[in-house]
Amino acid sequence: MTAVGAPTLLDEVDRRVRELAAPSGAHPVQAAAAGAVAGGKLLRPRLVLLAAGEGADRAAAVEAAAAIELLHAALLVHDDVIDGDDERRGRPSVAFAATQTATAAGLAPAEARRLGLTTAIVAGDALLVRALAALARLELPHPVRARIIDVVERAMVHAAEGEHDDVLLAGTAPEEDVIERVLEGKTADYSFRAPLEIGALLGGRSEQALAALGAIGLRLGVIYQLRDDVLGVFGDETVTGKSALSDIRAGAPTLLSALASRDPAWQSVAAHYGDRVADEGAAARVRQVMRGSGALEAVERRIAEAVDAVRAMIAGAPIEQSARDGLAELLERCAERER
């Protein structure tokens, strides 16, 4: 089974994702959940398949990869509720779409908004349950399935902690070690470390390979999130599919904002960072300071240094060359992506 370079295998995963999310009844929550899985890049399934390699059972690898994509979709739905985002993947977020539907049906604005948020929360819950059920049903030896569930449990708890701390620290300028801890928890573990570890378990890899892939995944996830933080402020909305005002309005505690806040010029825009109604003019002033302070350049330098470090980790990992090549390709994508 060739993983990353096998579009037919990814096609199988994509079909299985849609099958797992497909409505089993006519309730609008089920329709919302099904709609939330559309348009993904299938990055996490790619990681599962890549780490699984030739040694994995094809059906189990496809099922596990699809389940991880469902977990990701669920967390995005909940993240949009937490951040108050109206757009995801170039389309209305689940909460916003449900709010619009309720408004069109005649509900008062406050009630429509409440119903929209409720729809998103429970649709995300439904996706989470279906993903976990799919993992629990994997036809694998019990010890392997149990370890996969343990990995998912750890990663999801870390994601919850990271999401909480991201909101708690909004508008502040945390130390860099705190920012890295949030990045590892909120994104890197469930999005990169866990998929690679799950793939390694499916493929029957050695404990040394499992540890190496997990370490690579954690570093890879931090790179991905650093790039995401840059795109969240400087990205092209028509390419990223999400607002370039969201992080500014939320006062996201990123390395970019923390480094910029050390410059005296930050005081002229500090009130905009975390202002829920900041407009494009305010955002442009924030971006100007982030550039002028050298913060953007410093983050780009950190990304480049981290890429070099992960490249060395990949080269030394006890895995076959084709897996190293696949990881190296994904590393470059994560660092240089535009969406």
**What span, in angstroms and rounded, lies between the C-alpha atoms of 152 and 147?**
9
Tokens linked to 161: 């902690």
The pLDDT value recorded for residue 40 is 86
Condensed to tens digits (0 to 9), the pLDDT of residues 99-124 reads 999 999 999 999 999 999 999 999 99
Taking the C-alpha atoms of residue 324 and residue 313, their distance in angstroms, rounded to an integer, is: 10
- The answer to whether the beta carbons of residues 82 and 167 sit under 8 Å apart is yes
- Contact indicator for 71, 131 with CB cutoff of 8 Å: yes
What is the spatial distance between Cα 49 and Cα 203, in angstroms, rounded to a whole number?
9
Q: What is the pLDDT of residues 280-335, one digit of tens each?
A: 999 999 999 999 999 999 999 999 999 999 999 999 999 999 999 999 999 999 99
Q: Are 48 and 166 in contact (CB under 8 A)?
A: no
State how far the Cα of 234 lies from the Cα of 71, in Å rounded to an integer.
Answer: 28
Question: Over the range 187-224, which residues count as b (16 or more CB within 10 Å of their CB) and which as e?
Answer: bbbbbbbbbbbbbbbbbebeeebbebbbebbbbbbbbb
If pLDDT is split at 50, 70 and 90, which confidence band does 4 have?
A: very low
Place of tokens 């005081």: 267
pLDDT tens digit string along 133-174? 999 999 999 999 999 999 999 999 999 999 999 999 998 889
The pTM assigned to this predicted structure is 0.92
Q: Are 64 and 140 in contact (CB under 8 A)?
A: no
DSSP state of 193: I
pLDDT (0 to 100) of residue 3:
45
pLDDT over 70 at 6, yes or no: no
Kindly report, residue by residue over 48-94, the tens digit of the pLDDT.
Answer: 999 999 889 999 999 999 999 999 999 999 999 998 889 888 899 99
Structure-token match 């006519």, residue found: 26
Q: What is the pLDDT of residues 12-32, one digit of tens each?
A: 999 999 999 999 999 999 999
Output the pLDDT for position 75. 97
Query: Above 80 in pLDDT, residue 7?
Result: no
- Distance between CA atoms of 111 and 273, rounded to whole angstroms? 29
* Whole-number percent of the chain with pLDDT over 90: 87
Alpha-carbon gap, residue 253 to 175, rounded angstroms = 10
Q: What is the pLDDT of residues 124-137, one digit of tens each?
A: 999 999 999 999 99
Token pair for 62: 């496809």
CA 181 to chain centre: 15
As to burial, measured by CB atoms within 10 angstroms (0-12 exposed, 13-18 middle, 19+ buried), residue 301 is exposed
Q: What is the mean pLDDT of residues 219-240?
A: 91
Residues in contact with 307: Cβ distance below 8 Å, sequence separation at least 6, in sequence order: 223, 331, 332, 335
Q: What is the DSSP letter of 53?
A: G
Q: What percent of the chain has pLDDT over 70?
A: 98
